[in-house]
């Protein structure tokens, strides 16, 4: 299989005519970096960073040299940052994929009355996948056009063509994203069905004929019977893929010693996708628990071994109606996943299944069970992977909340960007919980450019901090008009940064490019990238993303740092779905409290908008100055004797939400994250 991440495809459909990603001017990036970091650092840290940045950006200095090398790279490559970004964001990351990296879409709870109902649903879904694959193979997907900010420009379509053709191969130091090449010699087209932690090959094209829904149901029925057969139970090899990437690479190397295992791995690596027929997960099927089942499968005792995490698309159909998709993130973004999933769900609604039962007599060859030859060494590795998955699932603190007081229409009526408003609300929530601002990531699509993926909107702006302080510490002392003006300031800062990001002029990709080109040139790592501020800037305690849907479902993912939150939101006309995650192991975080603060903040913001009715007054210079002084005195949170949020808030004017963990919540073992 050719390596995908090193070979920019030239025939990727939809990319023709798109501009190349620009390279921002060095000075702009460095200035913005300083202004993004000032309020997140102590005065001492900031002064050091300022000097380091000045030296880096001096005329004729290291920055200029690296910038010129990036300019050369931009001329040669379709997208100067793509390879750097893919490696940094995914392939070099050694963390286990479940929870830490792979997001999931959670479908509405299905009402399966009998076991056959879940198989009918699965057959219907698979038949939609095959329809969609036909569109992809014919390069017949209509080009996406941007919506929202700067609407109307065409978007790069490359990510779609990786949905069913890629595989993330684990490596000892770095993974590889590989792609199948179907044009030279047609690949066998098959889906891998996971059932009771056993893996089966379901050929979807037999004798040059694509299986129809009834055929698919017939085959799935056979698979369930084979999986149930007691004699042939094989170890749950899928668990190995849930381990850290280096560990999985090593286990795979051990497995590969046996030809039986090599053949099985080859079938999995070349499949279109996985269909995971899950056992019932448990009595509770709330949004929150369904999100957890999707992210980690319920661990070893449930469906954790019924997965193969390297494969980009894993459709989960649970016997209890808990359904969704788990995706390996490196080939595409959530927005592409949503488009594909919405197609499938609309297909299922638009072409209702007429299946009553599977064919009792079938000419179709029986699906094949994949065999594994497991030495004692493999069994030991399996035990170790299982333990780590258990720790990961015990550590996940998930909270899905449907905020029903208003949706994006209310925000639009205020003549405010809903995304910017929600981001400011997230900043307010974090401040209310923890009384400090933190480095924040919001994904911004750069699909307006060739091979565009995402850059970061640094939502922790000084204006958002000023607003958060006014709404908490200064609740009594700041007038509503002033608060409203600060809200407008925070929204304007957020919206400006958003536009900067989606037009390819944000700082994160640029700084990454400068760092990586220095590495490529075998230069010593420039000071700016060794500086503590750079580490802090990349510790995304808030990892946020808008994933809107037009069909009822929602996206969720885990935090990216041990003491952080993952906040995914889905704004609808009259409500907003928030999926908030954190790790129980961290004494600093609690998803339920974060949600509480978020809701309170959104209600306060709504009341403020209603009271002020969008009337803004000129800024008062004096107030701004007061706030700036305040900002600086508040930034000592970096000290190692960091206070618990509840302690730090004791002297504040407005009583904050107190983060208290129940004793049992802190008694979790260390999870795989380092």
User: Smallest distance from the beta carbon of 413 to ligand COA, in angstroms?
Assistant: 8
- For residues 654 and 468, give the distance between their C-alpha atoms in angstroms, rounded to a whole number: 12
Helix ranges (H only) for 333-375 are 334-350
Q: What is the largest CA-CA distance in the chain?
A: 83
Measured in degrees and rounded to the nearest 5, phi and psi for residue 545 equal: -160, 135
The nearest distance, CB 99 to ligand COA, in angstroms, is: 15
HSE-up (13 A, CA, CB side) for residue 406 = 20
Dist. CA 88–CA 670, nearest whole Å? 25
d(CA 483, CA 490): 10
The residue (of 149 and 636) whose beta carbon lies closer to ligand COA is: 149
Q: Taking the complex as a whole, how short is the minimal distance between the CB of residue 279 and ligand COA, in angstroms?
A: 29
Site residues for ligand COA per CB under 6 A: 147-149, 333-335, 412, 415-419, 443-445, 454, 498, 502, 545-547
> Which CB sits closer to ligand COA, 442 or 593?
442
Residue nearest to ligand COA (CB): 148
Nearer Cβ to ligand COA (177/220) = 177
User: What are the Cα distances from residue 232, in Å, to 144, 200, 535, 595?
Assistant: 47, 13, 51, 46
Work out how close the CB of 75 gets to ligand COA at its nearest, in angstroms, rounded to a whole number: 26
Q: Which is nearer to ligand COA, 269 or 455 (CB)?
A: 455
Minimum CB separation from ligand COA for residue 519, in Å?
Answer: 26
State the nearest-atom distance from the C-beta of 448 to ligand COA, in Å. 10
Nearer to ligand COA, 25 or 148 (CB): 148
Is the CB of 443 or the CB of 673 nearer to ligand COA? 443
Q: Which token pair is 361? A: 């007599």
Find all residues with CB under 8 Å of 629, minimum gap 6, and list them: none
Element (H, E) at 194: strand 190-195
User: What is the C-alpha to C-alpha distance for residues 99 and 93, in angstroms, rounded to an integer?
Assistant: 13
Q: In this complex, which beta carbon is closest to ligand COA, that of residue 147 or of residue 379?
A: 147
Catalytic annotation on 190? no
Give the whole-angstrom CA distance, residue 422 versus residue 148.
14
- Provide the 3-class DSSP secondary structure of residue 216: helix
Cα–Cα distance, 418 to 518 (Å, whole number) = 39
Taking each helix axis from N to C end, the angle separating 418-434 and 480-502, rounded to the nearest 10 degrees, works out to: 120
Name the active-site residue from 39, 124, 190, 329. Answer: 329
- 284 vs 13: CA distance, rounded Å: 44
Minimum distance, C-beta of residue 446 to ligand COA, in the bound complex (Å): 8
Tokens (6 digits) for 134: 């036909």
Residues carrying an active site annotation: 329
């Amino acid at each position: 299989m050719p390596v995908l991440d090193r070979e920019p495809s030239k025939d990727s459909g939809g990319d023709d005519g798109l501009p190349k990603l620009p390279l921002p001017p060095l000075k702009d990036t460095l200035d913005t970096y300083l202004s993004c970091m000032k309020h997140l650092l102590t005065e001492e840290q900031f002064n050091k960073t300022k000097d380091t940045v000045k030296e880096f950006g001096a005329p004729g200095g290291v920055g200029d040299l690296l910038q010129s090398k990036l300019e050369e790279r931009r001329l040669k490559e379709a997208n100067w940052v793509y390879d750097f970004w893919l490696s940094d964001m995914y392939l070099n990351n050694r963390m286990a994929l479940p929870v830490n990296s792979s997001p999931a879409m959670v479908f509405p709870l299905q009402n399966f009355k009998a076991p056959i109902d879940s198989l009918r649903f699965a057959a219907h879904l698979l038949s939609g996948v095959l329809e969609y694959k036909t569109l992809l193979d014919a390069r017949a997907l209509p080009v996406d056009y941007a919506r929202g900010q700067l609407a109307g420009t065409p978007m790069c379509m490359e990510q779609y063509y990786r949905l069913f053709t890629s595989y993330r191969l684990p490596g000892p130091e770095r993974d590889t994203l590989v792609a199948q090449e179907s044009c030279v010699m047609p690949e066998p087209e098959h889906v891998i069905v996971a059932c009771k932690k056993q893996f089966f090959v379901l050929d979807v094209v037999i004798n040059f004929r694509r299986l129809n829904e009834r055929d698919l149901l017939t085959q799935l029925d056979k698979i369930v019977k084979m999986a149930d057969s007691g004699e042939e139970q094989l170890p749950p090899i899928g668990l190995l893929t849930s381990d850290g990437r280096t560990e999985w690479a090593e286990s795979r190397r051990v497995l590969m010693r046996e030809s039986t295992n090599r053949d099985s791995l080859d079938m999995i690596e070349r499949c279109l996708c996985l269909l995971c027929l899950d056992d019932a997960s448990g009595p509770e099927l709330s949004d929150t628990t369904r999100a957890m089942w999707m992210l980690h499968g319920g661990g070893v005792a449930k469906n954790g071994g019924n997965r193969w995490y390297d494969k980009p698309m894993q459709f989960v159909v649970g016997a209890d109606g808990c359904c969704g998709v788990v995706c390996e993130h490196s080939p595409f973004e959530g927005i592409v996943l949503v488009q594909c999933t919405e197609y499938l769900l609309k297909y299922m609604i638009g072409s209702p299944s007429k299946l009553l039962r599977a064919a009792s007599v079938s000419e179709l060859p029986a699906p094949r069970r994949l065999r594994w030859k497991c030495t004692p060494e493999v069994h030991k590795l399996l035990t170790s992977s299982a333990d780590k998955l258990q720790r990961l699932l015990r550590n996940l603190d998930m909270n899905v909340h449907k905020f029903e007081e208003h949706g994006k229409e209310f925000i639009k009526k205020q003549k405010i960007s809903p995304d910017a408003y929600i981001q400011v609300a997230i900043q307010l929530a974090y401040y209310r919980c923890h009384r400090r601002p933190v480095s924040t990531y919001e994904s911004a699509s750069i699909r307006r450019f060739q091979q565009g993926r995402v850059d970061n909107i640094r939502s922790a702006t000084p204006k958002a901090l000023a607003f958060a302080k006014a709404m908490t510490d200064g609740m009594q002392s700041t007038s509503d008009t002033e608060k409203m003006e600060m809200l407008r300031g925070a929204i304007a800062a957020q919206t400006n940064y958003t536009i900067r990001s989606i037009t390819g002029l944000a700082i994160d990709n640029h700084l990454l490019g400068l760092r990586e080109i220095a590495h490529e040139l075998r230069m010593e790592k420039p000071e700016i990238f060794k500086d503590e501020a750079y580490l802090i800037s990349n510790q995304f305690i808030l990892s946020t993303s808008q994933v809107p849907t037009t069909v009822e479902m929602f996206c969720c993912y885990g935090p990216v740092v041990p003491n952080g939150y993952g906040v995914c939101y889905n704004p609808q006309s009259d409500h907003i779905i928030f999926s908030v995650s954190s790790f129980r192991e961290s004494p600093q975080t609690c998803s339920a409290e974060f949600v509480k603060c978020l809701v309170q903040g959104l209600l306060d913001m709504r009341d403020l908008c209603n009271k002020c009715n969008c009337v803004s007054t000129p800024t008062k210079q004096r107030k701004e100055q007061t706030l700036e002084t305040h900002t600086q005195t508040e930034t000592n949170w970096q000290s190692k004797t960091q206070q618990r949020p509840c302690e730090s808030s004791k002297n504040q004017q407005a009583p904050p939400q107190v983060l208290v963990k129940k004793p049992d919540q802190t008694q979790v073992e260390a999870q795989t994250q380092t």
